Structure 1
Amino acid sequence: MSDAAPKLATPTDLKTNQARDVAAALNGILADSYALYLKTKNFHWHVSGPHFRDYHLLFDEQAAQILGTTDQIAERVRKIGGTTLRSIGDISRRQTIDDNDRGFVSAKDMLKELRDDNLALVEQLRAAKDLADTAKDNATSAIIDEWTDAAEQRAWFLFESAQNG
């Protein structure tokens, strides 16, 4: 009995190499989305201090938003003929957003780290949009705009929440 599975064949009019490049970029974004989701939940669970309630709720809202994009990203990869993440190990190999396993992180540092991570995700999204535009993958390009706007909004909220005054 062979372990070789039949190859997935999804119909697409995109050129194979271009679709492969877009799928690879989206899989990187998906891995970082999972890494950012878990870090945001980690901070949600472990935040403390005078603004506990506000930050606790903010982190929970943002984590839910991030998790909500993961299925869209994975399904977009499949629609253009690619395959997507299969395990935590696969995520770990592809993620560029660093985990935070420290025993204590100040609320101020949490806000800054999540802001920076969301802005890094925005950079990845812009690069993926360029690939999608080159591939004439209009649907991916359009939905990336939505994900970019959401990540920018998260970064903005995190930035403003960290302001003194």
Structure 2
Amino acid sequence: MSDETVGKIKSGAQRTKDSIKQAITSDEGVFGTFNYLKQPAYEIYATIAKFFPPLAWFLVGATALNAAPVALMLGWLGITTLICFAVAGGFIFFVEGFFFLLGSGVILPVIAFAMFSAFVTFLFLAGMYGVFRLMRGALWAIGIIGNGGMIPFGVDEEAEENPAE
């Protein structure tokens, strides 16, 4: 090989290496798009968690209880898709539809149970949180305890921090 050919190969390899390094360290592409899309949802969740924690607990509980069934369903769909590609070939859509219905017969009751469990837990925790707020308000009203930094619903935080304005 000539020196010119070796130089071109090394130059191409270096450009490829630089491109891969840039793609890995860059915040663009798939991960940048995902971060851009998740920001409004995160802000909504942060607001919910700040002003009504039981609803945030429900969202976390529902997500946690549904994560495993959904992951198993996706795994099931992946395995059956591979089987269908290997066996059926041209009839993949018919066969995959059958397996999807078969899997749905399993996952729908599981998701229904998980959502019911999360909702019952939410109702219990919301009730307990309400009792906590009522008891804390009653104890504060009769002077047994101080405010302790908790801001009641409907009170503007900035107005409480800056009363002179």
User: TM-score, normalization: structure 1?
Assistant: 0.34
More helix by share: 2
Query: Which has the larger Rg?
Result: 2
User: TM-score, normalization: structure 2?
Assistant: 0.34
